Homo-oligomer: A and B are copies of this chain.
Amino acid sequence: MIKGELFIISSPAGAGKTTLTNLLLEEDEKLKRVITYTTRKKRKNEIDGVDYVFVAKEVFELMIKENAFLEYAIVHGNYYGTPKKETFELLNQGFDVILVIDVQGMKQIKSVIPEAISIFILPPSLKELESRMRIRGESEEEIQKRLETAKREIPHWKEYDYIIINENLLESKENLSHIIKSQRFKRQRFNLSLIKDDELRSLML
């Protein structure tokens, strides 16, 4: 039995999923992130093993053969994948796990783990999305490519369990935190060992 809860966060590039996830991880010690493996080139501000695990195409394809991914995809010619082993290890230790993946990845995971909880983060507007991409210093070509991807991804909001409009970063972080923490009180996750009083526990059996 899986002890933790699996959360899937998706959003168009620039809507804030990575920043939000990092803010959540900082303040919630019961929540862990599984780092995505990728074959894309590392950007200047990224750290290997923190933002992504950067691997060679040959390594990634070997891992596919060994069925090492919970889901994987090719985006803009690069592989991205969620490692199975790390995910289940954390869940079995009782951690909640957050995966930052795209729409296709969400669907793959839901087909294997239907009880995973999916959250779609929307930008307040397309203009805002574009301007956040510009702040990140991406090239005009890259921006246009990502905007097209965003426009293809946004209609899939309807397939997610929860929807958050990221207008204000701290507010959105609070709202995500409500979604994550509320799951911990679901009856299905309640564990009688939390009750220290023998008399009360025996009434609850």
Contact surface of A with B, Cβ cutoff 8 Å: 119, 122-128, 151, 154-155, 157-158, 160-165, 175, 177-179, 181-182, 184-187, 190, 194-197, 199-200, 203-204
Contacts of A195 in B (CB 8 A): 122, 124, 165
The listed residue (B127, B196, B203) touching A124 by CB distance below 8 A is: B196
- A148, chain B: closest CB distance, angstroms: 12
- A4, chain B: closest CB distance, angstroms: 16
How many copies of this kind of chain does the complex include? 2
CB <8 Å contact, A163 and B178: no
CB <8 Å contact, B178 and A160: no
CB <8 Å contact, A125 and B197: yes
CB <8 Å contact, B125 and A203: no
Name the residue in A124, A154, A162 with the highest tally of chain B Cβ atoms < 10 Å from its Cβ: A162
CB <8 Å contact, A197 and B161: no
The listed residue (B128, B178, B190) touching A182 by CB distance below 8 A is: B178
Contacts of A155 in B (CB 8 A): 203-204
- A170, chain B: closest CB distance, angstroms: 15
CB <8 Å contact, B175 and A178: no
Q: How far is the CA of A59 from the CA of B175 in the complex (A)?
A: 44
Q: How far is the CA of A165 from the CA of B184 in the complex (A)?
A: 12
Contacts of A160 in B (CB 8 A): 187
> 3 closest pairs, A vs B, by CB?
A125-B197, A182-B182, A178-B182
